[in-house]
Structure 1
Amino acid sequence: MQQTDTDDLIRFMNIKVLSLFICLMGWFALPSICLGHSSPDSVSYDQQLSHGIEAFYQSDWKEASTIFEKLQEVNPSDARAYFFYSMIPFWQYYFGDQSHGAANLYLERSEKALSVSHKQLEDNSRDTTMILMLSGLYGYRSLIAASEENYKTAVSSGLDGFKYTRTLLSLDSSDPKALIGKGMFYYMMGTVPSSLRWVTNMAGVSGNMEEGFRALESAARSDSYVRNDAKMILAYLYERENNLSKSLEHLRDLSEDYPKNIIFQYNLGRVLERTGKEAMAEKRYQLVVDMDTYYLKSLQSKSEERLEVLRNG
């Protein structure tokens, strides 16, 4: 394989991953996936984690931070609280002003989350929760580093994340947690241009969009906690492929389940507007404007702008 071809593929995949995850609005945060480690002596811990995840999903990050910090003290060897704690500055970065402070805070927190996750994975090499978390943590580090023009970290983190994604491909295909990783990977492989497809084949990786959607829909229909994560991803991917009716289907589910999540509400309004449902979009934008939120005020400003356009024609 020629080095220039490999470089072109890496460059292409980095651009595609960056574009995909930014447009996903950080939805692939894996919150619900991480509830799968219950044990009889950790019910109280898992209940608190569940409350923290609920606050995270509802965009109440102040409450979520308090809970995750407490859980890290209670059980410093459980990676889940570290993961969510690091995701707060990640969301702040992509939905806020992309400040260097938020970027550095994510990189700092994710370093600790990675360390604890690696230790947990050593105890169980087939732990899909840890594998998926590691894939996500490295992927988010790649995004942050690329946005901050730290390309060395961006590429190395991206390749590390890919390693864990490949591990998912070898695991039980019926596990909804593995289905999400596989679905994302298959979709991404399906976007590789034909001129570079031979490079992926030589690397031993393949997939197509149809396979990706099937895997993600299976996860979305499951009884597992991961169904919400699958719906978040599907909402964006269907919009990306201009299948707006399917995108709306998943966005409505998410908005009903998490009415305080400003990101879900804003994106529902935006897709409603795209489908010509302007009256319904107005109501959703107004809901966003009226929200009492400390974070992501930029989405309120965008909603105000869309309301002005819709009402003044």
Structure 2
Amino acid sequence: MKKRCGVGLILAFWMLIPFLGIAQASSPVVLPPSNSEYLLLDKGLQYRITKAINSMYNFDFPTAERDFAVIMYQYPEHPLPDFLMALGYWWRIEVDVTNTRYDNIFLQYLDRANEKAERIFDENPKNKEAAFFLAAGYGFQGRLYSERKSWTKATFAGKNALKYMELSRGEEEFNPELLLGDALFNYFSVWIPEEYPLLRPVMALFPKGNKQLGLQQLETVASNAFYTRVEAQYFLFRLYASMENRPYDALRISEYLHGKFPNNPYFHRSYARHLYTVGRWTESVRQSQEILDRIDAKQTGYESNSGRYAAFYIAEYNYRVGNKAEAKKYYLKTVAYGEESESQESGYYLHSLIQLGKIETEAKNKAQARKYFDRVKKYAKRKHPAHKEARDFIKKNKL
């Protein structure tokens, strides 16, 4: 988690969107159209978006995009439909952020949404909805640019996102959704300089946050918001698991999200991971095997990155119970998936090589064992714990 947070979370994660979490309403009530001038506050449209985004979260992109296309036809000058299309591509990216296949089309839809929002804003600088879309659009741009280590672009996008977030304030009905942006900003603007001291000069360009307040705000959004509940839950289980040392809370949320969106591979592998973390290993193995089966079946969104996670949990379980043959089989799968997704520096990949080296050493296959440890030394930085473990094991066992 920490590697991915980096500068990306400094600049952009707090700035998401008003309706990512709209799918939380499983049986929404159809309300009469709003008298507001803002399309986002049209209750009838909210209901239609709910169904479409439910499909998007569940990785049924054809269904979601047909609904988004209808909205685009009905509101060709409004940023909403282009923004929704971008969301679908963001979730494709989120499954494996190292894959750049969808970057261009994602940015194209965001650019179109931003252009339409800017036209509305230029005509009426008091239009809160236009400012809201610009904040969201620039936020997502910054989020991607930070993943790609395009720091200058990420900084520009992040500052624009903050500017438009401030300009979007004042519409009472938007306030619960804006709280997600406040929450993420408050948390990460403190957490980032604590964990990355070299980035303190960058963070000095932004307002001062409050990490504990940010966490409280995020919990409030996750419990009470309409539009942003699911996205807040997504961030909460990541924070609980990796930063707040609350693994059971992370499991609770990921279990809910996987149950609601069973075909979302990100939620699926997160659920398997959190089961493993709290010691519910047989359940984790069951979920992990289902992930591998879905990869074999070429189910949408299930790919090598998810396979690396799933194979590792199965391997670790078998190693713990003394089934070295099965452990070796799944450590090899972890390594293969890691190479397919070009994740050779990941902890799961490196640890799998170490375990394979130990298994081969026990089997008196020292030459093969040495090859595995040499690969650890090749891909791990010298200060990485895996590199030290490999060096020490080679020395101790005279490989």
Deviation of the 1:152 alpha carbon: 3.9
Q: Aligned-pair RMSD on alpha carbons? A: 3.9
1:308–1:28 Cα change, 3 Å: farther
Which of 236, 250, 255 is equivalent to 2:253?
A: 250
1:245–1:123 Cα change, 3 Å: farther
1:23-80 Cα deviation digits (max 9, x unpaired): x8xx979423599x98269666444322211111111122222221232112113322
Instruction: Say whether the 8 Å CA contact 2:264–2:301 is kept in structure 1.
Output: no
- Residue of structure 2 in register with 1:219 after alignment: 221
Q: Which moved more, 1:84-93 or 1:299-308?
A: 299-308
Structure 1 residues not aligned, in runs of 5+: 1-13
The alignment partner of 1:78 has SS state of coil
Amino acid aligned to 1:233: F
Is 1:54 the counterpart of 2:44 in the alignment? no
- Residue of structure 2 in register with 1:286 after alignment: 289
TM-score, with normalisation over the residues of structure 1? 0.77
1:300–1:155 Cα change, 3 Å: closer
- Residue of structure 2 in register with 1:10 after alignment: none
TM-score, with normalisation over the residues of structure 2? 0.62
Structure 2 residues not aligned, in runs of 5+: 26-30, 36-41, 320-399
CA distance, structure 2, for counterparts of residue 94 and residue 206 of structure 1: 28
Give the paired residue count: 296
CA distance, structure 2, for counterparts of residue 90 and residue 201 of structure 1: 26
- Between the two structures, name the one with larger relative contact order (CA 8 Å, sep ≥ 6): 1
1:84–1:204 Cα change, 3 Å: closer
Is 1:16 the counterpart of 2:6 in the alignment? yes
Deviation of the 1:93 alpha carbon: 2.9
1:17–1:253 Cα change, 3 Å: farther
Which of 263, 268, 281 is equivalent to 1:265?
A: 268
Deviation of the 1:301 alpha carbon: 1.8
Deviation of the 1:131 alpha carbon: 4.6
Instruction: Say whether the 8 Å CA contact 2:10–2:192 is kept in structure 1.
Output: no
CA distance, structure 2, for counterparts of residue 237 and residue 38 of structure 1: 38
- Residue of structure 2 in register with 1:181 after alignment: 181
Which of 308, 315, 321 is equivalent to 1:309?
A: 315
- Residue of structure 2 in register with 1:191 after alignment: 191
**Pairwise mapping of residues 38-77 of structure 1 onto structure 2 (< 5 A)?**
39=33, 45-77=45-77
CA distance, structure 2, for counterparts of residue 171 and residue 71 of structure 1: 23
CA distance, structure 2, for counterparts of residue 304 and residue 90 of structure 1: 22
- Residue of structure 1 in register with 2:164 after alignment: 164
1:303–1:140 Cα change, 3 Å: same
Deviation of the 1:110 alpha carbon: 0.8
Deviation of the 1:112 alpha carbon: 0.5
Instruction: Say whether the 8 Å CA contact 2:21–2:232 is kept in structure 1.
Output: no
Q: Which moved more, 1:173-182 or 1:83-92?
A: 173-182
- Percent pairwise identity: 18
Amino acid aligned to 1:301: G
- Residue of structure 1 in register with 2:236 after alignment: 234
Deviation of the 1:281 alpha carbon: 1.4
CA distance, structure 2, for counterparts of residue 280 and residue 289 of structure 1: 14
Rg (Cα) greater in structure: 2
Deviation of the 1:169 alpha carbon: 7.5
1:45–1:227 Cα change, 3 Å: closer
Instruction: Say whether the 8 Å CA contact 1:220–1:228 is kept in structure 2.
Output: yes
Instruction: Say whether the 8 Å CA contact 1:183–1:213 is kept in structure 2.
Output: yes
- Residue of structure 2 in register with 1:205 after alignment: 207
Amino acid aligned to 1:287: E
Amino acid aligned to 2:290: L
Deviation of the 1:227 alpha carbon: 2.2
1:81–1:298 Cα change, 3 Å: farther
Instruction: Say whether the 8 Å CA contact 1:180–1:219 is kept in structure 2.
Output: yes
Deviation of the 1:262 alpha carbon: 1.9
CA distance, structure 2, for counterparts of residue 38 and residue 239 of structure 1: 41
- Residue of structure 1 in register with 2:304 after alignment: 298
Deviation of the 1:19 alpha carbon: 5.4
